[in-house]
C-alpha cells in the first residue's frame, strides 16, 4: 500500500510542476499586457513560456529517474 502512496505523490508533484509555471507565466503575461496595452500577446507568450518551463522540469526529472533506475 505504501508504494501506491509514493506513486500518487510522484504523480501529484509532476502535475504541480507543469501547472504552476504555466499559471505563473500566464499571470506575468497578463501583467505585461496591462503595462504595455498589448493584450493578448503577453498572455499567450507567458502561457507558452510557462508550459515549456514546466515540461522541461518534468522531462529532466524523468530522465534523472531513468538514469537512477538503470544503475
Largest CA distance in the chain: 53
Residue with the bigger pLDDT between 24 and 61: it is 24
Query: Which residue, 58, 49, 46, 45, is CA-closest to 16?
Result: 58
CA 15 to chain centroid: 8
pTM of the model: 0.81
pLDDT digits 0-9 by tens, 30-58: 999 999 998 899 999 999 999 999 999 99
Percent of the chain scoring above 70 in pLDDT:
94
Domain of 29 in residue numbering reads as: 2-70
Answer for the pair 16, 54: CB distance below 8 angstroms, yes or no: no
Residue 66: per-residue pLDDT = 75
- For the segment 59-70, the average pLDDT, to the nearest whole number, is 82
Q: Work out how many domains the chain is built from and give that number.
A: 1
Q: State how far Cα 65 lies from the chain centre.
A: 17
pLDDT at residue 35 in the model: 95
CB 7 within 8 A of CB 13: no
Amino acid at each position: 500500500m505504501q508504494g501506491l502512496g509514493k506513486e500518487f505523490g510522484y504523480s501529484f508533484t509532476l502535475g504541480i510542476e507543469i501547472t504552476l509555471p504555466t499559471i505563473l507565466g500566464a499571470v506575468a503575461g497578463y501583467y505585461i499586457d496591462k503595462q504595455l496595452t498589448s493584450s493578448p500577446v503577453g498572455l499567450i507568450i507567458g502561457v507558452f513560456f510557462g508550459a515549456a518551463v514546466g515540461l522541461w522540469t518534468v522531462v529532466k526529472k524523468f530522465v534523472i529517474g531513468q538514469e537512477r533506475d538503470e544503475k
